[in-house]
Amino acid sequence: MDESLLRVITTLNRIAETSLVWPQGLLHPGGPHRRLKGHHDPISIGEDECAALGRMVAALRPAHAFIIGNAFGFSSSYIADVMQRNGGKSVISLDDHSEGDGQRAAAIARELSLSLGLDNILKNKRGVSPADIAKSVEQKLYDLILIDGQHRHPQVTRDFQGVLPYSSAQTVVVFHDSWLSGVAGAVSEAKRAGFRCLWLPTSCEMILATRSPERFEQLCAIFPEGGEDRGSRSRALGYLLYAQQSVAFHFGRVFAR
């Protein structure tokens, strides 16, 4: 586990009670993911996915990052912490507090960022994507954009279209949960817009998309385990495992009463 991940997990554990989701990963070895104890949503990205993003940040050294979907701040704090150690300048997250106890999640995200000393680099903003993207951005262009908000079609495509004006040819757009059909639709839209898409076999699968052929080759070198996305994977297993975890969560609550 890298230094930033250890810091984020240790600090989060001091601030809030969380439970682990998919301890071994959802579709591929990896995970665990996290949720606030007693709440089904939101669910964070997996530790293995943080590590993959950390590897990319260390190699590409992005100056500015924009994140849609912050929840309790797990991915934003991790990305900001790694960026701070690698010459990064700013990270903005945008979240509408719509999932689970959104207010509490946002308060935890704020405390996590402050406790980690990330307040100089990370700003967590409240707003709805894509409507509030324009008033949330503080840069003309972002080097790294993570899309991890609401995952249903056409929201992810709208999120992607919303951030497109703030991307350069070199920008890497990361789609989390690329096995979900709503995300796959947005990835198809990215391809139509000239992006090449590298699929990564992380717990919930991620796609790294860029318009620059050189950047794409760099990504392939950083992630030899990945492959260019062909967009035709079976989603049945993902939906089954997701449903299984949902049923277990709700049964757990009934029996806990």
Q: Which residues bind ligand SAM (CB under 6 A)?
A: 42-45, 68-71, 74-75, 94-99, 102, 128-129, 148-150
C-beta closer to ligand SAM: residue 189 or 220: 189
- Burial-class residue 234 by CB neighbours within 10 Å (0-12, 13-18, 19+): exposed
C-beta closer to ligand SAM: residue 208 or 211: 208
Distance CA 96, CA 17 (A): 22
| In the complex, minimum distance from the CB of residue 171 to ligand SAM, in angstroms, rounded to a whole number | 18
C-beta closer to ligand SAM: residue 64 or 196: 64
| In the complex, minimum distance from the CB of residue 176 to ligand SAM, in angstroms, rounded to a whole number | 7
Strand pairing class (196-200; 206-210):
antiparallel
| In the complex, minimum distance from the CB of residue 94 to ligand SAM, in angstroms, rounded to a whole number | 5
| In the complex, minimum distance from the CB of residue 49 to ligand SAM, in angstroms, rounded to a whole number | 8
Rounded to the nearest 10 degrees, what angle do helices 3-15 and 102-115 cross at?
130
C-beta closer to ligand SAM: residue 44 or 210: 44
Beta strand residue intervals within 37-75, DSSP E: 64-68
Q: Which three-class secondary structure state does DSSP give residue 152?
A: coil
Distance CA 11, CA 118 (A): 12
Q: Which two tokens stand for residue 116?
A: 């980690």
| In the complex, minimum distance from the CB of residue 77 to ligand SAM, in angstroms, rounded to a whole number | 8
Q: Which two tokens stand for residue 29?
A: 């070895």
C-beta closer to ligand SAM: residue 25 or 149: 149
Q: Which two tokens stand for residue 203?
A: 């717990």
